[in-house]
Every structure is written in structure tokens, then in C-alpha cells.
Amino acid sequence: MNTLRNKVQLIGRLGQDPEIVTFPDGNKLAKFSLATDDSYKDKSGNKVERTYWHNIIVNGQMVKIVENYVKKGQEIAVEGKLTNKSYDTKEGEKKYITEIIVSEILLLGGK
């Protein structure tokens, strides 16, 4: 049951081309947003569609896959864990960010 703790799986489309960050030691990190869609019927029976945006972080050997094959609009599946960060803005306001640290990635559809 421990393998089920803090696990998330998403299928969605990239909102923009991945941003690749290269560190001084040569390691790389890929960041991008992933859109997932959901729909439901409201009280009046009208279909309501929503898009959710997820912050995705890829590191290690999978960055090469993202760098070479993943582009804006592409449909992918990711599996990973949720993490939360906080920081203070210049104005002193506390901001919170939820990210998904990817452990597996699967390219879907397309050529």
C-alpha cells in the first residue's frame, strides 16, 4: 500500500513548449504546464467544461525525452508525486505552488 501514497497520474496536453533549465554541474530539469479537461452537468442540466493546469517537473534521464520529443499541444501521460512549495513575493505576500515531480512519462497520439 505504500506505493499508492502520494501518487498522481494525468493525461493532458502541453500548454507551451517545455522550459529546459541547465545547472552549472550539467544536470538538467524540464518544466511545463499540462492541461487536463473535465466536464459535468450543472443543476440546470447544462454541460460545464473546465480546464485544469498542472505544473510539471521532469528531471534525470527523462529530460532528454522531453527535450527531443515533447512540444506544445502534444498529448502525454505522466505519473509522479505531488509537492508543495511556498515563497514570499517582493510585496511580502506568501504564494503557494503545487507541482508534480514526474517518475514516468508516456508520449501519446501523434506521429
Domain residues of the chain, as ranges? Answer: 2-107
pLDDT digits (tens, 9 = 90+) for 21-79: 999 999 999 999 999 999 999 999 999 999 999 999 999 999 999 999 999 999 999 99
pLDDT digits (tens, 9 = 90+) for 72-109: 999 999 999 999 999 999 999 999 999 999 999 999 97
Give the CATH class of 2-107.
mainly beta
For residue 81, what is its C-alpha cell? 508525486
Which of 5, 10, 7, 3 has its CA nearest to residue 80?
7
Task: Identify the band that residue 111 occupies on the pLDDT scale cut at 50, 70 and 90.
Answer: low
Specify the higher pLDDT residue, 1 or 22: 22
pLDDT value of residue 4: 72
